[in-house]
Amino acid sequence: MLTRITALLFGGLLLLLTQPILTQSTPDYTCSLTKPCTLGCWVCGMGPTFCAARNCTSECNAKSECDPGWGIEWSQASKCPLNVCCSKFGFCGTSEGFCEGKTVSSPQCPGGKSADQRTIGYYEGWNLGRSCGRMAPEDIPLGYYTHINFAFALVNPTTFHIEDMGPDTAALYDRVSALKSKDPDLKVWIAVGGWAMNDPGPYRTTFSDLAGSTTAQDAFFESLITFMRRHNFDGVDLDWEYPVAEDRGGIPGDYDGFVTLVRRLRERLNQTGKVYGITITLPASYWYLRGFNLNDIEPYLDWFNIMTYDIHGTWDSTVKSIGPYAFAHTNMTEIQQALELLWRNNINPGRVVLGLGFYGRSFTMKSPDCLQAGCEFTDGARGGECTGTPGVLSAAEINTIIANGATVTMDEAAAVQIVTWDSNQWVSYDDAVTLKKKLDYANLRCLGGTMIWAIDLDDGTLIDALGSDLSREKSVLTSRPARIPDFDTPWEEL
């Protein structure tokens, strides 16, 4: 029954993937003309039992999300997005209440090494603006990364030309792509978009506008090709967060529009005579992933980068199905559920790259006596000295916190470390041990690699740890090895 509630929480924006933490007793499902349903929904059920003229008390034309067998007459669609399960009440979801024993078969590659082939690191082009914990392009630890995705460039809302985030970021493109001369195996790509591009503001509908117009696409393609040639980039990663999602500025046409955009981009890049790569990022939640036409877009991509991090954070407090309870943001159980959304659609695992975080999502806990996963939080933990944002800490900052005395507890099932300090501060993150578990998992599932958000949040230790678990050798650099970031260098000296 509880799972039905999840489906009904249309107000909750995020993460229907995540199971709700509902501890209250079973709610009252009965309703009448005078007694509204306590669930806050508009009817107590769907299908002929509730909606047929003789049976109905309110909202009689309501149609169920999917058809569990009572006929399309009572339903909006026969199947659920992404082939998730249709519950007997006519709602779509992935947990037991929806699926009732139906399971998803996941790819299996025991002893496989498929994920070792590719290690992609996103580089935050704005990181030099931090007061400390910076990583200049020349300080990027080389040898294990096969690809660096430079984050980000934007798309101009009017001309649809590639646009710099700002002069400081733009000044780094050539310095990052120049690393290819030190590490001949390295590829450097441009990541276009990012979460903030779809925030309210002038860029909010730019991706939708691009997806909906071949004229806009042509302008974008020419500008992108010039840009990639000028700055010596090898490919483009489109980070559209998120198509179709109304709360992210999306529209229904994005579903097929994104396919058109990527198909035409593939055709155009093919004409350049150089082999440019194309990837897109995917969210790890059913809520946002259902806006992607995965099957139709897959043939035109090199691979998908699935963002299996940020699964939880302070924003959970306003999501009705979750609430203000602290959970790890890179939880293996939930990563597995996210990947199952792909397996439900027969996506080739070799074209899936697993996201890893070199940072933690943090909370200030309500009570120092309740510090386990699932305990209540009031806010993000205090911002780190370098990253300065409550609710998030870089791996480098977490290492400092641990060195200064903190309690570190590994959650085996979630394959994540939970660090607590200063009585009520809490952060989940991945260290050498849990990164290895995630890499092993990526190999077990035959995935095509791992990707990291973000290179510059590491103090050099995590990439070394992850790299030493790979079955391929560190590439040999043609000049002196990169330095690890200097946490004390004042900004002016960089």
Ligand X SMILES: *[C@@H]1O[C@H](CO)[C@@H](O)[C@H](O)[C@H]1NC(C)=O
**What residues make contact with ligand X under the rule CB under 6 A?**
18-19, 48-49, 52, 54-55, 266-267, 270, 327-328, 331, 333-334, 373-374, 411, 414, 416
CB closer to ligand X, 418 vs 482: 418
Q: In this structure, how many other beta carbons lie within 10 angstroms of the beta carbon of residue 444?
A: 17
Could you tell me the smallest distance in angstroms from the CB atom of residue 486 to ligand X?
33
Q: Which CB, 182 or 312, lies closer to ligand X?
A: 312
- Report the residue number, 131 or 270, with the smaller CB distance to ligand X: 270
Query: In 10 A of CB 49, how many CB atoms?
Result: 13
The CB-of-17 to ligand X minimum distance in angstroms stands at: 9
How many other C-beta atoms can be found within 10 angstroms of the C-beta atom of residue 349? 21
**Smallest separation, CB 20 to ligand X (Å):** 9
Q: With respect to ligand X, which residue has the nearer C-beta, 119 or 417?
A: 417
94 or 281: CB nearest ligand X: 94
- With respect to ligand X, which residue has the nearer C-beta, 147 or 329? 329
Provide the minimum distance between the beta carbon of 49 and ligand X in the complex, in angstroms, as a whole number. Answer: 4
Task: Give the nearest distance from C-beta 299 to ligand X in angstroms.
Answer: 8
CB of 172 to ligand X, least distance (A): 30
Nearest distance from C-beta of residue 428 to ligand X, angstroms: 6
* CB 302, min distance to ligand X, A: 10
Q: Residue 216 or 328: which CB sits closer to ligand X?
A: 328
295 vs 37: CA distance, rounded Å = 38
CB of 53 to ligand X, least distance (A): 6
Residue placing its CB nearer to ligand X in the complex, 92 or 416: 416
Q: CB-wise, 369 or 488, nearer to ligand X? A: 369
